[in-house]
Amino acid sequence: MGRQPGISDTLYLGIDGGGTKCRAVLVDENNQVLGVGNGGPSNPYHGVARALESIVNASDNALRNAGLTPADKSRVVAGLGLAGVNLPSLFKIVDQWEHPYKAQYLTTDLHIACIAAHEQDNGAVIVSGTGSCGFAHVDGKSLTLGAHGFPCGDVGSGAWMGLECIKAVLLDSDGLGPQTALTELVAEQLQARGIMIVERLNGAKSSDYAKMAPLVFAAAEDGDEVALAIVHAGADYLTQVARKLWELNPPRMAMLGGVSTRIVDWMEADIASRMSKALNQPEFGAVHFARSSYASEVVAVAQ
């Protein structure tokens, strides 16, 4: 049985929701972690019902991990940072959802990642993982660059690098493009050549293409001209994103995502040297967002 609500019994829940999984952390009023939980895909762009179910599952798991029950959601102030809600129509749907929490505050996954990276409201982040984008929030003003999704955008990401790799390999296979070491690397990884590569990648997801990004970095580090061109193009794009974000004068900027640790070394030196270490995980940024949003609302009501 969970504890019964009391005057000072508010709990804060942070949700980091992406296209493949949902992570939740539950803290008390002193910001002590009580429990954590996971759920399934939670990007409403790929299904609103599934996203909401994943959010509830992750929060229920965090409550159970804390020794509480799902009934304790009525004590929870939830901060949701979700992929996909940068689209106004999806934001409205999720924001108006009849949620089970005491209060709910919604923003994007980029926003909570930025808050967590700097442990404050102001800052900037560049994400280079399976996808890519840039985000800055300074004194109430936000700027998002990219976040167009694969294959429409996501330059400088793992998925983009993988796609560029495959296109180059197919041109090489047909004798219509420069020879590249990527051809043999891809053949080994996919166990396919030429048109068989296309068959092997039929229905492939962005995450499948991202698995080929390490091949591109390996070939580039060995001096392969085609691989070098791909890495430089991605790094130059992310450098431009960084320069645009710095125009808002954020106090700090961090790079996030699995590709970021490798591609930052290929970015222009003055930009790479200004990157700061991310201080915390995105779900803790969602907790901060929930806490500050709830406090502001309480003050507004009191006035």
The mean pLDDT of the chain is: 93
Q: pLDDT band for 5, please (50, 70, 90 cuts).
A: very low
**222 domain residue, yes or no:** yes
For residues 251 and 286, state if they share a domain.
no
Number of domains in the chain: 2
Q: How many CB atoms lie within 10 A of CB 27?
A: 22
Query: Do 91 and 193 fall into the same domain?
Result: no
In a domain, 226, yes or no: yes
State the pLDDT at residue 297. 81
Query: What is the percent of the chain with per-residue pLDDT over 70, rounded to a whole number?
Result: 96
Q: Are 48 and 89 part of one and the same domain?
A: yes
Confidence band (pLDDT; 50, 70, 90) for 52?
A: very high
Question: For the ranges 2-11, 61-70, 130-139, 147-156, which has the lowest average pLDDT?
Answer: 2-11
Provide the pLDDT confidence category of residue 2 given band limits of 50, 70 and 90.
very low
Distances (CA, A) of 31 to 35, 49, 109: 12, 30, 21
Task: Calculate mean pLDDT across residues 264-286.
Answer: 96
Give the whole-number percent of the chain exceeding pLDDT 90: 86
> Are residues 266 and 285 located together in one domain of the fold?
no
CATH number of the domain within which 47 lies: 3.30.420.40
Same domain for 18 and 95, yes or no, is yes
110 with 175, same domain? no
User: For residue 136, is it within any domain?
Assistant: no
- Per-residue pLDDT reduced to its tens digit, 85-128: 989 999 999 999 999 999 999 999 999 999 999 999 999 999 99
Residue span of the structural domain in which 92 resides: 11-119+280-298
Domain membership flag for residue 179: yes
Residues 262 and 289 in one domain: no
Segment 173-191 shows an average pLDDT of: 98
In terms of domains, do 207 and 107 share one?
no
β-partners of residue 145 are 134
Mean pLDDT of 267-295: 96
Whether residues 81 and 166 share a domain: the answer is no
H or E element, residue 13: strand 11-17
Task: Specify the pLDDT at position 4.
Answer: 43
User: Per the structure block, which two tokens stand in for 24?
Assistant: 């939740």
Specify the pLDDT at position 303.
Answer: 65
pLDDT of res. 109: 92
Share of the chain residues as helix, strand and coil, in percent rounded to the nearest 5: 50, 20, 35
